[in-house]
Homo-oligomer: A and B are copies of this chain.
């Protein structure tokens, strides 16, 4: 296959991981450019990279651009995304800015690959906590039909970005040194604490923070179920990498634990770790830096019909961001929607 000229926009936690994933998967590239706010030399995945300043012109010689939007901040895709599309670039945006835009498919390749159609030049990557949940629910939805989801998340600091990883690291060191702990990335210390807030309030769902609303709206869009009942509580936990989720999910039809395990085990990208008698279940420390979405603790909610409880863990930077974005581009290439110029 001929190579694509690829740009990664952003050189933080997600941008760096995109570069790594592109290399790891032997993505068909003839050129890889890393763009950021300012030009500099930066080591990415063990190799020194010439990071260039993001400009409209920089997209001139590019076939595929991955935008590594960061949580909370205005993503580069808002400024450059559609300008890049006008220059013939196929854009995959990890940011939040266009996920609910009607022009833009919101895609997890193992869940709704057909949402990407021939004419699409701009595809959004869902939010990290949404990706792993819909990934694990897709095979069960196919068997029994989703009815209602109640999810509580346990989200690592890497979801906030590199500065938050450093902040937790510094707090751990300061704690051991007996120094005063300081915080900038979060409103409170995260070491030995939990913060039940991810993003800010929005008008549309009273009392819900942004991350919780994303999980509700993105899940509906991805499954094409506009009225799907979803409630989410999103909590930041003192874990460096990988998000975990406790999910109680009610289906339209009966589904047994065995049927659920089988459907999950057969699904692309899912790994079932579920032997509770041997204390085998997914955990963030062991899921970090791996590709699969891990599912375990699958059990019947004996108090509600057609309902299962489960525990879902995935690397939020990999499947939750960089890997899923690269998979979207691979999907578009495979279907012939993107060709090298």
Contact = CB atoms under 8 A, between A and B. Distances in A.
Given A201-B277, A297-B233, A192 B239 contact: yes
Nearest to A233: B246
A54 to B, nearest CB: 32
Interface string A156-189: 0000000000000000110110000000000111
B176 A296 contact: no
A229 interface: yes
Nearest to A238: B238
A207 B239 contact: no
Interface in A214-248: 216, 228-231, 233, 235, 237-240, 244, 246, 248
Given A194-B239, A230-B303, A233-B309, A298 B188 contact: no
Interface residues of A, number: 59
Contact of A284 (B194, B201, B233, B296): B194
Q: How many copies does the complex hold?
A: 2
A204 to B, nearest CB: 9
A239 B304 contact: no
A66 interface: no
Nearest to A248: B150
A45 interface: no
Contacts of A176: 172-173, 176
A20 interface: no
Contacts of A257: 206-207
Contacts of A311: 196, 233
A299 interface: yes
Q: Is the interface of A mostly helix, strand, loop or mixed?
A: mixed
Given A248-B231, A311-B233, A296 B196 contact: yes
Interface string A72-89: 000000000000000000
A209 B309 CA distance: 12
Contacts of A154: 154, 194, 235, 237
A216 B279 CA distance: 21
Nearest to A281: B196
B231 A303 contact: yes
Interface of A: 148, 150, 152, 154, 172-173, 175-176, 187-189, 192-197, 201, 205-209, 216, 228-231, 233, 235, 237-240, 244, 246, 248, 257, 276-277, 279, 281-286, 296-304, 307, 309, 311
